[in-house]
């Protein structure tokens, strides 16, 4: 009994906080999505019209699908680019490990907004890339090859995610018992066989954690497209932001947010199932 | 396991990636000393004028103040709540433990646009006026998982019979927590606080919906990014911030390691 009181005192405040400021707002948004409007009598009318409108607007679906594809691309490419980094750190870096790990993490400590903004200085028409290409004579005249496009968004988001995806993979690789790899070698396994049959399967929890850790937030990303994407590179998150900031159609924005949440819930479930939160370091 | 120490393809790849990771940051620093109001190549010359201009900028100083206060407040609350949650999770068994763990980890990955707009709707419906503080309440939500993870891993590092020993010697349960558990996990608490601070200090996606007319620093910076003449200012400020954040994070990392090695 006494123990239960202690638990209640400890668990109560964080539990209530998350309930009121995390779960409750999602619930209120769900109710809000049925409203006919936000001013006058429309506030008190509940309707399915928002949902009907959402279901008929193919432009919304298309952008949601495109955003899902971008998120999948970024999560997959991040894993592919990050895996060798984590592998090298774990098995080959030797005494360089700490310094190399630090080199990977330190850039992520700087402002997210400004790191993204800096890519404008690289990809723009008077940016570093163009200047460099002009200088080596690869192109004749400067042009904004990449800026304000979906490619710019993908490149910039890859830049953001690769170090964060490398960390859980690194953590998973580090947990592998080296005697397993030695045993495999003693039994005549070739390095590639050992990798495919022991190292890779054992590192999968880290791969999954990193994959979902990049995938789910990217699905709703709106800041990067605002900065480097331009009109061409807009994502679904920008559409939602527009409903709240410019179009001021909050009920429609709620429907759109819920649609994304429905898409994300199975992924969130997989993330927690993969023990994702254990492996996510920073 | 074979450990190569010489140069290899793996090292080359690693260094190329590291170079790309540092490149945008270096670029910002380089432009902050460039004697021109345009952020374009070729570079013009060396100046510290942009840094001197920062000091006189009222709005910006105000935004820095808002962000610092907000960061301190929200990370204090997040660390306190995270500590409670971490003790509950690592020292008790209870029904719904898995659910609590899952819910407290979700803010790590939930798209921030959803968190931002759902809080916007709630504050609006309840009639709470938007301000830096409403953004701060959201910062606590996204900071809790980090505080929880850091403090839990520290608590897992020593057994709970230290608390029992203190209680055998006459301490109450809360006395034992305050005088044994908290002091032992103190480096982790400070590390959690610092990391939560940088999360709040850097947060833009949620804040942009919730700050009302009190911009935090990232919101202010974003508003300045559309005025080309303001860019040198932004760039020099960002260089200072990057150095400051790096120092804070190195401190946090050092404290976290300090906690780990006393295991």
Q: Is the pLDDT of residue A186 over 90?
A: no
As a whole number, mean pLDDT of residues B192-199 equals 88
As a whole number, mean pLDDT of residues B143-169 equals 83
As a whole number, mean pLDDT of residues A248-270 equals 86
Contacts of A252 in chain B (CB under 8 A): none
User: In this predicted model, which residue has the larger pLDDT, A89 or A127?
Assistant: A89
Contacts of B118 in chain A (CB under 8 A): 25-26, 28-29, 257
Here the ipTM equals: 0.85
Grade residue A281 by pLDDT with cuts at 50, 70 and 90: very low
Structure tokens at B72: 């301190």
- Whether A263 is in a domain gets the answer yes
Between the CA of residue B125 and those of A20, A28, A187, B130, B207, what are the distances in Å?
A: 14, 9, 67, 12, 18
Could you report the per-residue pLDDT of B58-77, keeping only the tens digit for each? 888 888 889 999 999 999 99
pLDDT (0 to 100) of residue A41: 67
Q: Is the pLDDT of residue B1 over 60?
A: no
Between the CA of residue B124 and those of A46, A166, B192, what are the distances in Å?
A: 18, 40, 31
Residue linked to tokens 């279901």:
A55
Q: Do A7 and B28 touch (CB under 8 A)?
A: no
Q: Is the pLDDT of residue B201 over 70?
A: yes
Q: Do A163 and B105 touch (CB under 8 A)?
A: no
Proportion of chain A above pLDDT 90, given as a percent: 15
User: In this predicted model, which residue has the larger pLDDT, A233 or B197?
Assistant: B197
Q: Which A positions 169-228 lie with beta carbon below 8 A of chain B?
A: 178, 181-182, 212-213, 216-217, 219-223, 227
Q: CATH homologous superfamily for B28-34+41-261?
A: MetI-like (1.10.3720.10)
- Whether A62 is in a domain gets the answer yes
A276 touches chain B (CB under 8 A): yes
Grade residue A157 by pLDDT with cuts at 50, 70 and 90: very high
pLDDT (0 to 100) of residue A52: 83
Q: Do B24 and A241 touch (CB under 8 A)?
A: no
Domain that holds residue A140: 54-279
As a whole number, mean pLDDT of residues B81-95 equals 87
pLDDT (0 to 100) of residue A282: 39
Q: Do A162 and B112 touch (CB under 8 A)?
A: no
pLDDT (0 to 100) of residue B142: 92
Q: Is the pLDDT of residue B260 over 80?
A: no
As a whole number, mean pLDDT of residues A120-126 equals 78
Q: Which of A136-145, A254-263, B247-256 has the lowest mean pLDDT?
A: A136-145
As a whole number, mean pLDDT of residues A63-82 equals 92
Contacts of A128 in chain B (CB under 8 A): 23, 27, 41
Out of B8, B108, B205, closest to residue A280 by CB: B108
Phi-psi region of B10 (alpha: psi -120 to 50; beta: other; left: phi over 0): alpha
As a whole number, mean pLDDT of residues A110-135 equals 79
Q: Do A17 and B102 touch (CB under 8 A)?
A: no
pLDDT (0 to 100) of residue B135: 92
Side-chain half-sphere exposure of A104, counting CA atoms within 13 A: 28
Number of domains in chain A: 1
Q: Which residues, at least 6 apart from A279, have a Cβ–Cβ distance to it below 8 Å? A: A168, A171, A172, A205, A206, A209, A210
Q: What angle do CA A111, B230, A154 make, to 5 degrees?
A: 45
Chain centre distance of CA A163: 12
Domain harbouring A146, CATH code? 1.10.3720.10
Q: Is the pLDDT of residue B116 over 90?
A: yes
pLDDT (0 to 100) of residue B115: 93
User: In this predicted model, which residue has the larger pLDDT, B55 or B183?
Assistant: B183
Q: Which residues, at least 6 apart from B41, have a Cβ–Cβ distance to it below 8 Å? A: A126, A127, A128, A131
- Using CA atoms, how far apart are residues A202 and A9, in angstroms rounded to an integer? 39
As a whole number, mean pLDDT of residues A19-40 equals 85
- Using CA atoms, how far apart are residues A17 and B137, in angstroms rounded to an integer? 9
Q: Is the pLDDT of residue B4 over 60?
A: no
- Whether A105 is in a domain gets the answer yes
CB B66 within 8 A of CB B216: yes
Contacts of B25 in chain A (CB under 8 A): 107, 110, 115, 118
- Whether A104 is in a domain gets the answer yes
Kindly report the average pLDDT of chain A as a whole number.
Answer: 83
- Using CA atoms, how far apart are residues B253 and B13, in angstroms rounded to an integer? 26
Domain limits, chain B: 28-34+41-261
Grade residue A22 by pLDDT with cuts at 50, 70 and 90: very high
- Whether A66 is in a domain gets the answer yes
Q: Do B141 and A18 touch (CB under 8 A)?
A: yes
- Whether A242 is in a domain gets the answer yes
Out of A15, A245, A278, closest to residue B100 by CB: A15
Q: Do B21 and A118 touch (CB under 8 A)?
A: no
Q: Is the pLDDT of residue B205 over 80?
A: yes
């Amino acid at each position: 009994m006494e123990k239960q009181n202690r638990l209640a005192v400890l668990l109560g405040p964080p539990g209530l906080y998350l309930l009121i400021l995390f779960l409750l707002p999602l619930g209120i948004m769900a109710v809000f999505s049925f409203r006919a409007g936000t001013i006058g009598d429309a506030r008190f009318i509940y309707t399915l019209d928002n949902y009907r409108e959402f279901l008929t607007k193919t432009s919304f679906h298309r952008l949601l699908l495109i955003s899902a594809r971008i998120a999948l691309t970024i999560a997959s490419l991040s894993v592919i680019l990050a895996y060798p980094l984590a592998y090298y750190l774990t098995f080959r870096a030797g005494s360089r490990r700490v310094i190399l790990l630090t080199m990977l993490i330190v850039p992520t400590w700087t402002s997210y907004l400004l790191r993204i903004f800096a890519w404008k200085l690289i990809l723009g028409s008077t940016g570093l890339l163009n200047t460099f290409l002009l200088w080596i004579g690869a192109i004749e005249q400067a042009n904004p090859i990449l800026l304000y496009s979906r490619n710019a968004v993908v490149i910039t988001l890859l830049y953001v995610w690769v170090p964060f995806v490398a960390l859980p993979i690194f953590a998973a690789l580090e947990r592998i018992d080296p005697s397993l790899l030695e045993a495999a070698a003693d039994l005549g396994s070739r390095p590639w066989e050992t990798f495919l049959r022991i190292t890779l399967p054992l590192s999968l929890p880290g791969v999954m954690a990193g994959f979902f850790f990049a995938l789910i937030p990217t699905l709703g990303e709106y800041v990067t497209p605002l900065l480097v994407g331009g009109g061409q590179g807009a994502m679904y998150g920008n559409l939602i932001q527009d409903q709240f900031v410019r179009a001021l159609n909050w009920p429609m924005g709620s429907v759109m947010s819920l649609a994304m949440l429905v898409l994300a819930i199975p992924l969130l479930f997989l993330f927690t199932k993969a023990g994702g939160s254990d492996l996510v370091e920073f | 396991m074979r450990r190569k120490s010489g140069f290899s393809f793996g090292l080359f790849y690693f260094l190329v990636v590291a170079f790309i990771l540092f490149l945008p940051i270096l670029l910002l620093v380089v432009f902050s000393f460039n004697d021109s109001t345009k952020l374009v190549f070729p570079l013009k010359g060396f100046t510290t004028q942009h840094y001197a201009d920062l000091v006189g900028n009222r709005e910006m100083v105000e935004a820095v103040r808002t962000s610092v206060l907000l960061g301190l407040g929200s990370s204090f609350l997040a660390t306190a709540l995270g500590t409670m949650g971490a003790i509950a999770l690592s020292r008790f068994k209870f029904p719904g433990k898995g659910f609590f763990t899952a819910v407290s980890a979700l803010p790590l990955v939930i798209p921030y646009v959803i968190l931002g707009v759902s809080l916007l709707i709630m504050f609006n419906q309840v009639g709470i006026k938007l301000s830096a503080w409403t953004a701060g309440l959201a910062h606590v939500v996204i900071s809790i998982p980090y505080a929880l993870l850091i403090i839990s891993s520290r608590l897992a590092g020593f057994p709970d019979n230290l608390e029992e020993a203190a209680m055998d010697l006459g301490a109450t349960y809360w006395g034992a927590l305050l005088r044994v558990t908290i002091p032992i996990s103190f480096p982790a608490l400070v590390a959690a606080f610092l990391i939560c601070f940088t999360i709040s200090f850097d947060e833009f996606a949620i804040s942009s919906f919730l700050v009302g007319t009190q911009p935090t620093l990232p919101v202010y910076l974003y508003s300045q990014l559309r005025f080309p003449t303001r860019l040198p200012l932004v760039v020099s400020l960002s260089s200072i911030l990057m150095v400051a954040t790096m120092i804070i994070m190195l401190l946090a990392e050092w404290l976290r390691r300090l906690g780990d090695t006393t295991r």
